[in-house]
Amino acid sequence: MIKILANDGIHPDGRLLLEEANYVVDENKIPQEHLIDKIGEYDVLIVRSATKVTKEIIEAGTKLKVIARGGVGMDNIDLDFARSKGIQVYNTPMASSRAVAELTIGHIFALARKIHLSNREMPAGDFRKLKKSYETGTQLRGKTLGIVGFGRIGQEVARLGFGVGMNVLAHDPFVTDASIGIRLNMFEDLSLEVKVRTESIERILRDADIITFHLPGGNSPLIGKSEIAAMKNGVVLINTARGGVIDEELLIEGLNSGKIGGAGLDVFENEPTPKEALLNHPNVSVTPHIGASTVEAQSYIGMELADKIIAFFGDDK
Ligand code: NAD
């Protein structure tokens, strides 16, 4: 019998799939310092970001065949050591793409109509004055959306951008084109297929009204002085990828000068204490790194983990 320790929990939908397949799922959290004494009982360890799967834990897990991370980043797992021991390591990159894409579009809508600002100012503000000051909102149909990083989330954002009627441009050095399928739920048999060819970064910087980033974080900012200079005046930038993709000091400078018309940020250089100048800026819409965190995404993560574990063991249980 396969014993699974879901030390940071698992969504009931994922747990149900595993139990229906006759796996034993233990969700009683074992504190980090005692994990080393207990891990030897389990064939599978499921974690999110809280549990640290160190070399010592892996060594003590003499029965471990699978380590599964609910979510994307695997910084909390000693990947090389796990693999050197022949342990299969999974994460769930598919499960949260839609959630991040919807938050991205949420920030774009908020900035276009100043919804973020209205929420901040209306409780203590004068209704008539505020009505006047928010009159200059813009509409999204016909605007050009530049997507930098055209992987899972970037393509999901494209799907939503087409739905809104935006001109979608994408840039990705490793993807030349992608087919974006759009299913119209009201008409089950009706779906559209839009082929997007990627463009140079220069074209995106020059032509996009809104630029959104969906690439892995690197050590140095992708967007610095010369890139900002090459953008349209009043461009809106969205970052739901990793803090530091856009140089934050330059971002603040650009927002203050008006070169950058607005920014939607879910990620920051110094989480959990982002710069006050960003949090308080009237043209910045912020969320506390919740891109992947929706009720549905938690369920998809649980089910994606369960599917991978069940496929790994097959009939061999
Ligand atoms: P993905 O691997 O599917 O796509 C990333 C794409 O970026 C790839 O197609 C890759 O070719 C491209 N890329 C690499 N270097 C590039 C560059 N210099 N310029 C342009 N494109 C480049 O990844 P994904 O699942 O779409 O995730 C994208 C980002 O979103 C990651 O940074 C991830 O950490 C982040 N993310 C954030 C949240 C959140 O909570 N806000 C949740 C999940 C993922």
Chain segment 187-246, per-residue pLDDT in tens: 677 888 999 999 999 999 999 999 999 998 776 778 999 999 999 999 999 999 999 899
Q: Which of 20, 202, 271, 296 is catalytic?
A: 271
- Buried b / exposed e over 90-100, threshold 16 CB at 10 Å, is bbbeebbbbbb
Spatial distance between the Cα atoms of 57 and 122, rounded to a whole number of angstroms: 52
Beta-carbon contacts of 94 under 8 Å, excluding residues fewer than 6 positions away, are 152, 300, 304
pLDDT the model gives residue 316: 64
Ligand 1 contact, 148 CB (< 6 A): yes
Nearest-Å Rg of the Cα atoms of the chain is 22
Ligand 1 contact, 175 CB (< 6 A): yes
**Listed range (56-60, 137-141, 219-223, 232-236) with the worst mean pLDDT:** 219-223
How many residues appear in the chain? 317
What's the 246 CA to ligand 1 centre distance in angstroms?
A: 14
- CATH number for the region 3-94+295-313 comes to 3.40.50.720
Ligand 1 contact, 171 CB (< 6 A): yes
**Each residue's pLDDT tens digit, 10-54:** 999 999 999 999 999 999 999 999 999 999 999 999 999 899 999
**Listed range (37-46, 272-281, 282-291, 306-315) with the worst mean pLDDT:** 306-315
In terms of pTM, does the model score above 0.85? yes
Q: Which of 107, 214, 242, 281 is catalytic?
A: 242
- pLDDT band, very low/low/confident/very high, at 73 (cuts 50, 70, 90): confident
Ligand 1 contact, 242 CB (< 6 A): yes
Told to judge if 242 belongs to the known catalytic residues of this protein, a careful annotator would answer: yes
pLDDT the model gives residue 217: 75
Told to judge if 34 belongs to the known catalytic residues of this protein, a careful annotator would answer: no
pLDDT the model gives residue 296: 95
Average of per-residue pLDDT values in the chain: 95
pLDDT the model gives residue 191: 84
What's the 190 CA to ligand 1 centre distance in angstroms?
A: 30
- Buried b / exposed e over 107-134, threshold 16 CB at 10 Å, is bbbbbbebbbbbeebeeeeeeeeeeeee
- Mean pLDDT over residues 256-280, rounded? 97
Spatial distance between the Cα atoms of 216 and 152, rounded to a whole number of angstroms: 12
What's the 60 CA to ligand 1 centre distance in angstroms?
A: 34
pLDDT the model gives residue 2: 95
pLDDT the model gives residue 228: 98
- Strands 177-183 and 191-197, sheet pairing: antiparallel
Question: Does residue 169 contact residue 178 with C-beta atoms inside 8 Å?
Answer: no
- pLDDT band, very low/low/confident/very high, at 249 (cuts 50, 70, 90): very high
Question: Relative to the CA of 245, which ligand 1 atom is closest?
Answer: 32
Ligand 1 contact, 107 CB (< 6 A): no
Ligand 1 contact, 72 CB (< 6 A): yes
Is the pLDDT assigned to residue 103 strictly greater than 80? yes
Is the pLDDT assigned to residue 182 strictly greater than 70? yes
Please confirm whether the linkage preceding 272 is cis (ω < 30° from 0).
yes
pLDDT the model gives residue 192: 87
Ligand 1 contact, 154 CB (< 6 A): yes
Q: Match 């461009």 to its residue by tokens.
A: 235
- Mean pLDDT over residues 80-105, rounded? 96
Give the residue among 163, 72, 61 at the shortest CA–CA distance from 109.
163
Q: Which of 48, 113, 206, 289 is catalytic?
A: 289
Check if CATH label 3.40.50.720 holds for domain 97-286. Answer: yes
Domain with CATH 3.40.50.720 in the chain: 3-94+295-313, 97-286
